Structure 1
Amino acid sequence: MRHDEWMNLHALLREIRTYIEHRGDASPDAFAAYDYQDTRPMHLHRQKTEHKRAARLLLWGIVQSIETESNFAVAHR
């Protein structure tokens, strides 16, 4: 992927995170690793590798939140 594509993906994943958090589905520490690093979607000057890492950390937090939600749903069946 090109640099701008990673930045766009980073921004999209950030929006998904916001949606998950507003729904209340995020586990408390799901996005701790992302919050600890300092690259955000609007940081145009950051390298492609930094946006790639940030996107992966966001994706990891999203997956953790989805897995927690899925496990919760299965437990209540």
Structure 2
Amino acid sequence: MTTIDESWRDGFLYFVEFQVIQQGVCKTFKRSLIIYEELDQKDMKKLLLTKFPKVDCIKNIEYFEEVLLLR
């Protein structure tokens, strides 16, 4: 018999809103992101700026809830 830990992985759901300037046009994106560790605002901002290098401004970061991801 398998355990929950063998079938599922913990994740954390965040809502983020950020702006990107492309060819002189400012675009706003609102996205839900799931990552595998819980981060504070400072570390989440650092992660976003690292993984999305064209981000000009982060307008909002909200932690929503824990989730389970199928392995």
TM-score for both structures, normalised by structure 2: 0.28
TM-score for both structures, normalised by structure 1: 0.26
More strand per residue: 1 or 2? 2
Who wins on radius of gyration, i.e. which is larger?
A: 2
More helix per residue: 1 or 2? 1
